[in-house]
Amino acid sequence: MHPDRFKDQVMIVTGAAQGIGRGVALAAAAEGAQLVLADRSPLVHEVAQEAAALGAQVVVLEADLETWAGASSLALRTLADYGRIDILVNNVGGTIWAKPYQEYAEAEIEAEIRRSLFPTLWCCRAVLPAMIEAGAGAIVNVSSVATRGIHRIPYSAAKGGVNALTASLAFEHAQDGIRVNAVATGGTEAPPRKVPRNPNPLSAQEQAWYQDIVDQTRATSPMHRYGTIAEQVAAILFLASREASYITATVLPVGGGDQG
C-alpha cells in the first residue's frame, strides 16, 4: 500500500461490486482516493460502505454501463459531486458463456461483445471532455490475456477491441495530458460471484468446456497458476498513479508470463 498515493484525486471504478473491481476500490480508498463506484448490482453499496470505513469519500451509482445513457450519467454524476474526473478504471466485463465458437448463438455473441467491449467504449467517451478540459487524466482499461485462448471467442474479440481502443485513444489524446493503458489480466482466483454472469446451471458438457479454459490458462502461463485479485489490483493502480507518468498506450499482461 502507498498511503496518500491518490490523495485529492477523483477515481471512477466501474464493475466495483465484486472481484477485481471491489479490490481496486478498497485499495484506492486506503490510498486516499475520492471514489465513484459504479455497477448495475446493488451490491456496490456494500463495497462503498467498506471503502468509507477506510476513510474515503464515496459516491455510488447503479447504472447499466453497456449503454451510453449509463456511462454518460456516470460522468455527469462524478462532475456534479466532485467537479472533475482524474482517473477512470474500466472494469466491467467477463465471459458469460464458455464453449467452442460454433456453439454460440447469434444473441450470445452480441451479448458477449456488449458486456466486455461497450462499457469501456462508452465510459472512455463519457469522461474524455472533462479530462481534455483539465489537461490531465489517467484511464486504465481491464483487458485479458484471453485474446489468445479457447472456448470464449466473442469475449476474446471484445478484449482485443479494448486493447485497440487503449492504444488508439492514447495516441489521440497524449497531447491533452491523458494517459491510457490497460492491464491484461490472466486467470484470477476470486470468491464465487454473488451475481453470476450466467445464472443458468452448467450442463456436464459446459462444465467440461469451462475446465478446458482452466487447463489452458494454467498451461500457457509459465508460472502455471492463477493469480490473485491483489496481484491484478497492484498493476491497475500502478498504471493509474503518477508513478506511471511516462507510460501510455501500453497493455501490461498480468498473467504469470502469459502475454496474451
Could you tell me which residues come within 8 angstroms of residue 5 by beta carbon, excluding any fewer than 6 positions away? 31, 32, 237, 241, 242, 243
Cα–Cα nearest to 180, from 134, 223, 235, 124: 124
With b for 16 or more beta-carbon neighbours within 10 A and e for fewer, the 97-114 pattern comes to: bbbeeeebeeeebebbbb
**Active-site residue identified among 104, 155, 210, 226:** 155
**Residue 194 carries which side chain, given as an amino acid letter?**
K
H or E element, residue 73: helix 68-82
Cα–Cα nearest to 167, from 196, 200, 139, 201: 139
Per-residue three-class SS string for 16-72: CCCHHHHHHHHHHHHCCCEEEEEECCCCHHHHHHHHHHCCCCEEEEECCCCCHHHHH
Instruction: Identify the three-state secondary structure at position 185.
Output: strand
Instruction: Examine the residue annotation and report whether 155 is marked as an active-site residue of this protein.
Output: yes
Write down the residue that cell numbers 449503454 correspond to: 67
Enzyme catalytic residues? 155
